[in-house]
Chain A
Amino acid sequence: MAKKNRNDLFMPGAITPGFIAEILHQHRGRTEIGAHSIFLGQTRADDLGGKKVCAIEFTSYEAMALEAMQEIREKIFEKYALTCMHVHHSLGKVEVGGVCLFVLTSSPHRKAAMEACSETVERVKAELPIWGKELLDDDSHQWKAANRSAGMQDQA
């Protein structure tokens, strides 16, 4: 049960609230679960020196990303007492305000769920070969950098 969902990492376009609701609905029968921790990465309308980000177009080295995700999944399950884990990332264009990353970790207890979620998000961002091309409002673009702003630890 825990180790399934190997190849459904990528989704075309934004991850919708309806899709998220469907995943949550599927967990009602898992009555050993006491806590779900969820992270959603949302495309932000950053201002890049007067130009505004309108959307991000994601591409990936998919075969390698699936392998890297499987490795993360195994390590997280070894480390935390999880009941299950779901990770989805958008490919293609996601307009600002759209969700491009979904991480759900579920456990009988909240500490495991929350710590596993946080660690999974960090690893996904650091280890999955995915690139975001920021489409700007003057029809130019810029390649997203994971740590754009000086002194900023995270770019969500």
Chain B
Amino acid sequence: MNFAVLQFPASNCDQDAVHAVRLLGHSARLVWHKDASLGDTDCVIVPGGFSYGDYLRCGAIARFSPVMQAVKQFADNGGLVLGICNGFQVLTEAGLLPGALIRNRDLQFHCENIFLKTATIDSPFTNKIPAGKILRVPIAHGEGCYFADEATLAKLKANNQILWQYCDQDGNLTDSANPNGALQNIAGICNDQRNVAGLMPHPERACETLLGSDDGKWIFESIFAALKNKPVAQAA
């Protein structure tokens, strides 16, 4: 599989995403934000970091990069797009995912491991996650509190679009397990077509036991499996 990892000015988890994909046996390359085309791509990763310094609002400026036009088209054609952390913020700003990510409720940046419950395995991003497995994955963000208005939230639930939620060690969705105040402990969602997803935690930082956890690999393995089963859209 070919992964395209976007590179905005001050993306800083771009190399990490490339590293994780390669480590898991697939190919990945960086695509510059000024490029209007994604080239030959099976899946797009919008990586973490501080695109444009996160000035104004996280992800707000990156959304206007030429490459985002290509991503939009790729997604419209059914291509798989995963936004991680800042990438999630970019995708919500771009309207590819509903809702918004606002300042953590305690106003502090949080870098720590959290536990993640997979709310549904019915998505290209979760299909390989073992049933009942609680993932231990790092977060690192200051603005990861997921917000959506009530109507949007109801729709997310009705369509089974919530993919991951913060939980405790035993899988309970408690308030103290929620690092940022996200509504319903939401850590990641997908669009209603189920081909675009975003999450605040960093699965690419959890693909090697040397780094403390390899639980993140299940998310990538899910994508690989989905791509294998249904070859999708052409890149724009």
| Bind each other | no
Interface residues, chain A, CB within 8 Å of chain B? none
